Structure 1
Amino acid sequence: MQTQGFDFRSHQLVAGVDEVGRGPLVGKVVAAAVILDPDNPVAGLTDSKKLTEKKRELLYPEIQEKALAWAIAWADVAEIDELNILHASMLAMSRAVNQLNPVPEYALIDGNRCPTGLVCPSEAIVKGDLKEPAISAASILAKVYRDREMKALDELYPEYGFAKHKGYPTALHMAQLEKYGPIAEHRRSFKPVARLLEQQSV
């Protein structure tokens, strides 16, 4: 249920929600939801992309420690390929919100649309990760979690350089994908991967 223009500040339990990983060719799309504690603020919150990796890593445990509630959820590669990346992102965000305990009274979603099936009313805020601290906190949790997954994948498949490009279609990633072919974690529905698989099957 979306209720644009509602005064969410009248609620105590407001969740900020963001996702990371729509653009990469590999891995899950990860979402986080955070209910901040107004009596225990976290300094330095902003869009995760504007922070250094070191700063994000420092904020990650602080957010988890100080928040009233937080949750991290995802949609996996099979769900991305089945649903498409937009719907998979929405699914990941709804999973994160619905895992929160206590249950949020309201959810602020980064972007221009809200996921369905939420346990509470919601509002989409474009560039919300720059405007609302709870969304900023969610963006940091999702970003750090996904980056750690890419580092773990890099240890399994060092030849692809996942720790460097985090699965995004950089020149390095495309060259290594061409050289070694897709792994199980690559998104088959994404054009560069689909094109390569098609060439290999000829």
Structure 2
Amino acid sequence: MKTIKEITALLTEVKEPESWMEELAQDSRAGVQNALRRWKRQYDKQKAVEQNHMVKEAFDMSFAPFEGALIAGVDEAGRGPLAGPVVTAAVILPRETPELIGLDDSKAISKVERERLAEQIKSVAIAYSAHIQSARIIDEMNIYAATRDSMEQAVKGLAVNPDFVIADAMKLDTNCPTESVIKGDAKSLAVAAASIIAKTTRDAIMDNLHNGFPMYNFKKNAGYGTAEHVLALQTHGPCEHHRTSFEPVKSMIKDWR
């Protein structure tokens, strides 16, 4: 008879149910039953992730105008911050992407996992593109128009022309049919991939801006209006990367002139 430790070790190597595991259900040892329950929970969780992945792939393919059509997902990062650019990305994925199982909206994933997924996306994507819209352009155009323009530029930047574009909650004007999908990053695999590329690209930009303007702690707040960031604004005033059309920066500009 195998020890509980040996059985636990065996279970860590099993990906799918096997016949010998049925015997474990009859084992009277509490440690064996606990190990079996842990394995089952992990198995069910993984199956749910895989099912979610297939649902997202099917969602994207439901927009395909013909067999083999290329579907691009488009998303943004940084519409709300007081400083830094808004970054958009467009991604065309292959029809099947088992390498990306677990891909989700960038906001639901840790920074380390986002960076890992970004590299994975870039390696498997048919094409991807990122566009950076500066704070100056945001102030000139307004954030909605600047984001829409940036998304359209990201689509134009793709090395391969898509046959259909799914955008996260934005109506776009492109050279192919498009669909605006609310919470697209939670429904579409291609949009989720775009959200990861946009977010990791913007995070790298904000980390770089932090080096030149450490007083605002952009590396921590990514330009968002945290209490610490607002206090730094009150102390040092805005810098060239702040959005002067956003409050409270807009009012602070008057005080510092």
TM-score scaled by length of structure 1: 0.92
Q: 1:27 aligns with which of 75, 84, 96?
A: 84
Partners of 1:14 and 1:106 within 8 A in 2 = yes
Gaps of 5+ in 2: 1-61
Aligned to 2:152: 94
Partners of 1:182 and 1:193 within 8 A in 2 = yes
Q: Does 1:141 align with 2:197?
A: yes
2 CA distance for matches of 1:76 and 1:115?
Answer: 19
> What's the Cα RMSD here?
1.4
Structure 1 residue identity aligned to 2:149: L
Partners of 1:74 and 1:95 within 8 A in 2 = no
Quick check: 89-98 or 192-201, which moved more? 192-201
Aligned to 1:182: 238
Partners of 1:97 and 1:119 within 8 A in 2 = no
Structure 1 residue identity aligned to 2:124: K
Aligned to 2:166: 108
Q: Does 1:150 align with 2:172?
A: no
1:10 deviates by 4.0
- SS of 1:46's equivalent in the other structure is coil
Q: Does 1:84 align with 2:142?
A: yes
Aligned to 2:132: 74
Structure 2 residue identity aligned to 1:143: K
Provide the identity percentage: 41
Partners of 1:74 and 1:93 within 8 A in 2 = no
Q: 1:168 aligns with which of 224, 228, 233?
A: 224
1:115 deviates by 2.2
TM-score scaled by length of structure 2: 0.73
Quick check: 182-191 or 137-146, which moved more? 182-191
Q: 2:94 aligns with which of 1, 22, 37?
A: 37
Partners of 2:64 and 2:70 within 8 A in 1 = no
1:191 deviates by 1.8
1 CA distance for matches of 2:158 and 2:147?
Answer: 17
2 CA distance for matches of 1:68 and 1:32?
Answer: 14
2 CA distance for matches of 1:115 and 1:127?
Answer: 16
Aligned to 2:107: 49
Structure 2 residue identity aligned to 1:114: K
1:74 deviates by 2.2
2 CA distance for matches of 1:182 and 1:69?
Answer: 37
Q: 1:8 aligns with which of 48, 63, 83?
A: 63
Q: 2:250 aligns with which of 179, 182, 194?
A: 194
Larger helix share, 1 or 2? 2
Aligned length: 194
Gaps of 5+ in 1: 1-6
Q: Deviations over 1:15-64 (max 9, x none)?
A: 00001111001111100000001244422111100000010010011101
1 CA distance for matches of 2:179 and 2:134?
Answer: 25
1:125 deviates by 0.5
1:99 deviates by 1.1
